[in-house]
Amino acid sequence: MQGLICHCFGYAAADIERDVATNGKSLIFEHILAQKKAGGCQCAEKNPAGR
């Protein structure tokens, strides 16, 4: 998927842009941060760059 920003949850740049246009801010970003804080992030395993 082109423009993939979050490999853990499959969010692309277009998803975040659409989220901001709809909600005035990124609820997706808030979701990612909450999941990361709760230990639900697997960036090191899923992201080819390892982050």
Residue-wise pLDDT for 31-46, tens only, equals 988 998 998 878 778 7
Give DSSP secondary structure letters for 1-51.
-TTEEETTTTEEHHHHHHHHHHHSS-HHHHHHHHHHHTT---HHHHSTT--
pLDDT at 1: 46
The domain ranges of the chain are 4-46
Q: Taking the model in full, what pTM does it have? A: 0.69
Q: What is the mean pLDDT of the chain?
A: 86
Is the separation of the CB atoms in 27 and 19 below 8 Å? yes
